[in-house]
Copies of this chain bind each other. A is one copy, B any other.
Amino acid sequence: MKQVNVGLLGLGNVGKGTYTILTKHADKISGMSGSQIDVKKILVSDVNKKRDIDVPKEILTTDAESILCDPDIDVIVELIGGIDTAYFYIKQAILRGKHVVTANKAVIATHGPELMDLAKKNRVLLLHEASVAGGIPIITAMLKPLAGNEFTEIIGIVNGTTNYILTQMTENNMEYDTALRLAQEKGFAEADPTSDVEGEDAAYKLCILMLIAFGVYVDPKDIPCEGITKIAKADIDFASQFGYKLKLLAGAKNTNGRLKYYVSPTLVAESHPLASVNNEFNALFVKGDAVGELMFYGKGAGPMPTGSAVVGDIISVAKCIGTDLLDVTPAQPYPVTEDDLELIGESKSMFYINFLVGDEPGSLGKVSTAFGNHGISIQSVMQRSQGEAAVPVIYILHETKRKQLDEALKEITDNNFVQEITSILRVLS
């Protein structure tokens, strides 16, 4: 049987999960890959650190070069995270003719196209199933069994931390700060949760999904991105009275060659499959022109689910090693349209607006007229007067451009029709 040697960079959570799966299911994995797969070396920061996993000490090293230069190592599995060092290691590995498997969304979203080109030139594979939604096999699904589709839309709940926080706010009546603390206690949020709660993590994943689904690269910094730090419990409650759940969505839609994309807290109708994806779970909702609507649901993070995706990639690489398959497999997804897609970012959307309105007659009429003046039609309005001096009034608006909406809102505030715009949220339509 063919021998395939793996060099593991990193023995944190995902590294441990990957090592555990490779050893526990060695028999099945060799059956599925036609290869004896061994972890030959593991890069760690401290060889003598106490670890809750049984790994032979002699395969641990603090010397990355000794792994990257080892001629017996066929596959480098990068699991150290971060951008710069990981990028350097991946590049070195490719230049030395080694296949690379990574779970690193930040590196792929930042340097993906360059690294994929480099891999193609050096006739090695660069696989990254684990970089989006952990154990959910969305990338392989789009590249292989769904390859006959032109994808028109992909919408993901791709960040478990924010989905956990929003679920707790919705179901257990918590404000944002309390829910964040609970997420941190449960290990679903990091001590510094910025990248998750501000939407950066979701933007990385959306960038990768667009690369796979549409064959185009959008810099994550150019993705219109809004996090969940300003979400008020009150809006979640009002929205639920209209039949909506609030989710942090990462979405992209190809409408006649115009690609629109966003990361944004968004109201999702309760009947939509994404509405019932709760807590730390992730889900990807995909539309293909042949297959129609598909949804993939599962755990988007954690040592074992992420390790599952990493091991799947290692098996794929092992199958190809020593064959001439690499000559015929495109390293990169193929653009779906004849012409380049036009990248236009922000798109029309339905909106939820929460105004604080003084208890004076005619306010509702003035606001509604202002929306009409700007060509925006109203789907529903709800006012809950309880005798206070000012009351919340909620509008759900039909699809409109953000620019139009802002002009209408300017008219409304300039004329003091309302006391305050409490919040503005996208609504999935």
A residues with CB within 8 A of B: 2, 17, 21-22, 25, 27-29, 31-35, 129, 135-137, 139-141, 143-150, 273, 276, 288-299, 302, 304-305, 307-309, 311-316, 319-320, 322-325, 327-330, 333-334, 336, 338
Contact = CB atoms under 8 A, between A and B. Distances in A.
Question: Interface of chain A, helix or strand or loop or mixed?
Answer: mixed
* Most-contacted residue by chain B among A25, A143, A302, A320 (CB, 10 A): A25
B147 A311 contact: yes
B294 A298 contact: yes
21 contacts: A2-B328, A17-B290, A21-B148, A22-B148, A25-B150, A28-B334, A29-B148, A31-B334, A141-B141, A144-B144, A146-B312, A148-B307, A290-B308, A291-B298, A291-B299, A293-B299, A294-B296, A295-B295, A319-B328, A320-B325, A323-B328
* Most-contacted residue by chain B among A298, A299, A329 (CB, 10 A): A298
Contacts of A313: 145
Nearest to A310: B148
Contacts of A314: 148
Contact of A145 (B21, B140, B320): B140
A143 to B, nearest CB: 7
Nearest to A34: B328
* Most-contacted residue by chain B among A21, A22, A336 (CB, 10 A): A21
Given A28-B336, A299-B291, A325-B325, A308 B273 contact: no
A120 to B, nearest CB: 12
A75 to B, nearest CB: 14
Nearest to A311: B148
Nearest to A336: B28
A152 to B, nearest CB: 13
B319 A291 contact: no
B319 A290 contact: no
Nearest to A30: B334
Contacts of A304: 289-292
A143 B291 contact: no
B144 A316 contact: yes
A299 B290 CA distance: 10
Given A21-B148, A299-B293, A288 B276 contact: no
Contacts of A32: 143, 147, 330, 333-334
* Most-contacted residue by chain B among A28, A148, A289, A330 (CB, 10 A): A148
Nearest to A150: B25
Given A22-B148, A29-B147, 16 more contacts: A28-B334, A31-B334, A32-B330, A34-B329, A35-B328, A137-B144, A145-B312, A290-B304, A290-B307, A292-B305, A293-B299, A295-B298, A319-B325, A322-B328, A323-B324, A323-B327
Contacts of A311: 147-148, 290
Closest 7 CB pairs of A and B: A148-B311, A31-B334, A137-B145, A145-B312, A135-B291, A34-B328, A294-B298
Given A307-B148, A328-B2, A135 B294 contact: yes
